[in-house]
C-alpha cells in the first residue's frame, strides 16, 4: 500500500501513453465501499506551458499518481465507489433468461428472526414480505419473462435488458400485488443487475451406479434405491430413495421423491 492509502497498478505503454489504477480498502469504521480510481495519460500538444510548472498539482484528493510520463500528457481520472452485492439478496438469480410461465407462480419473502414476518421462525403467508426479487445478468429482451406470475419485489436484468409480463402478472410491493393490481409498479423493474455468478463445480466425476429394485424398509415403505456411504452417479432417477449413510450423488434427470 502506498502513502495515499491505495494499492497501485501502473504501467508505461510507451509514446506518452500510460495508466495508473488504484484501489483503496474501506475504512474499518465506515461504509463497506472500496474506492477504485484510474488515471489515464495520453500525448498532449507541446504548447501546454503549465506542464512544466506543476504537471500533477491539479489532481486533488484520492489517488496520487505513481507514474509521471516524461513528455507533456493529457490526463483524466475516473473514481468508482464500489458497492457490495451478494446473490443472497435475491429470491431468484440467474446468468441467463428466467422464464416464470406457468400456473400460480409467485415470489415473496419472510424473516425467520422476526415474529412480525414469521410464525415460530417459519414462513407464514399471512406475514410474508416483498423481498422476493428476481434478477438475471442477461442483457437481453425478456431477460425476465414473468408471464402471469406475482412477484412481490423487484425484477431486474443486465444493462439494456427488459422484463416481459403477461396480462395477469404483477410486479411490485406487497400492497400493490395483494390489492390485485396488474402490471409493474413504478420503480420495481430495472436493468442494473451486475453480479458475479461463478460456475458450479462438479463435486466428483466417478462413482458407483446404484442398482434399482424394490427394497422393503422399516415402516412398511418400499424404496427403489438404498444409498449407503460413497459417491453415486445415476443417468436417470425416479422413485423413492432411502439414504442410510454419507451418500453423494449426481443425476441427469430427477424424478419424484427423495427420502
The full DSSP string for 177-237 is HHTT--EE-TTSEES------PPPPPS-S--B-PPP--EE-TTS-EESEEE-SEEEEESSB
All 3 cell numbers of residue 181? Answer: 393490481
Average pLDDT, integer, range 150-159 = 94
**pTM beyond 0.85, yes or no:** no
pLDDT tens digits along 87-141: 568 889 998 999 998 778 999 999 999 999 999 999 999 999 999 999 999 988 8
Q: Is residue 165 predicted with pLDDT exceeding 70?
A: yes
Provide the pLDDT confidence category of residue 179 given band limits of 50, 70 and 90: very high
Query: pLDDT at position 258, please?
Result: 39
Pair 31, 45: CB distance under 8 Å: no
* Closest to 59 measured CA to CA, from 38, 35, 36: 38
What is each CA distance from 202 to 191, 205, 234, 247, in whole angstroms? 31, 7, 14, 15
pLDDT tens digits along 190-238: 998 888 888 878 788 888 888 777 777 666 778 888 888 999 887 777 7
Pair 143, 162: CB distance under 8 Å: yes
Provide the pLDDT confidence category of residue 45 given band limits of 50, 70 and 90: low
Query: pLDDT at position 251, please?
Result: 72
CA 59 – CA 37 distance, rounded (Å) = 12
Query: pLDDT at position 86, please?
Result: 60
Average pLDDT, integer, range 61-82 = 69
* Closest to 237 measured CA to CA, from 225, 222, 223, 221: 225
On average, the pLDDT of the chain sits at 81
Query: pLDDT at position 106, please?
Result: 93
pLDDT tens digits along 5-36: 888 888 888 888 889 999 988 876 667 788 89
CA 4 – CA 32 distance, rounded (Å) = 19
CA atoms within 13 A on the CB side of 50: 7
Query: pLDDT at position 144, please?
Result: 92
Q: Is residue 58 predicted with pLDDT exceeding 60?
A: no
CA atoms within 13 A on the CB side of 47: 0
Query: pLDDT at position 158, please?
Result: 92
Query: pLDDT at position 59, please?
Result: 41
The full set of domain ranges for the chain reads: 7-81, 87-190, 202-259
Pair 152, 174: CB distance under 8 Å: yes
Provide the pLDDT confidence category of residue 184 given band limits of 50, 70 and 90: very high
Q: Is residue 66 predicted with pLDDT exceeding 60?
A: no
Q: Is residue 63 predicted with pLDDT exceeding 80?
A: no
Amino acid at each position: 500500500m502506498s502513502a495515499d492509502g491505495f494499492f497501485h497498478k501502473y504501467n508505461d505503454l510507451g509514446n506518452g501513453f500510460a495508466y495508473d489504477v488504484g484501489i483503496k480498502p474501506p475504512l474499518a469504521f465506515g461504509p463497506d465501499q472500496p474506492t477504485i480510481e484510474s488515471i489515464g495519460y495520453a500525448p498532449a500538444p507541446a504548447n501546454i506551458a503549465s506542464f512544466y510548472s506543476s504537471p500533477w498539482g491539479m489532481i486533488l484528493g484520492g489517488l496520487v499518481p505513481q507514474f509521471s510520463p516524461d513528455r507533456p500528457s493529457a490526463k483524466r481520472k475516473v473514481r468508482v465507489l464500489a458497492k457490495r452485492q451478494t446473490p443472497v439478496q435475491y429470491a431468484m438469480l440467474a446468468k441467463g433468461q428466467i422464464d416464470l410461465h406457468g400456473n400460480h407462480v409467485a415470489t415473496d419473502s419472510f424473516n425467520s428472526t422476526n415474529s412480525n414476518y414469521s410464525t415460530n421462525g417459519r414462513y407464514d403467508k399471512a406475514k410474508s414480505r416483498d423481498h422476493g426479487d428476481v434478477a438475471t445478468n442477461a442483457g437481453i429482451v425478456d431477460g425476465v419473462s414473468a408471464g402471469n406470475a406475482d412477484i412481490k419485489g423487484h425484477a431486474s436484468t443486465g444493462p439494456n435488458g427488459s422484463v416481459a409480463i403477461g396480462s395477469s402478472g404483477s410486479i411490485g410491493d406487497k400492497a400493490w400485488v395483494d390489492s390485485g393490481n396488474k402490471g409493474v409498479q413504478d420503480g420495481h423493474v430495472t436493468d442494473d443487475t451486475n453480479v458475479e455468478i461463478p460456475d458450479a463445480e462438479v463435486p466428483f466425476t466417478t462413482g458407483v451406479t446404484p442398482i434399482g429394485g424394490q427394497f422393503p424398509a422399516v415402516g412398511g415403505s418400499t424404496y427403489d434405491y438404498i444409498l449407503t456411504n460413497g459417491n453415486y452417479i445415476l443417468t436417470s432417477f425416479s422413485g423413492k430413495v432411502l439414504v442410510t449413510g454419507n451418500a453423494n450423488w449426481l443425476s441427469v434427470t430427477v424424478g419424484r421423491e427423495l427420502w
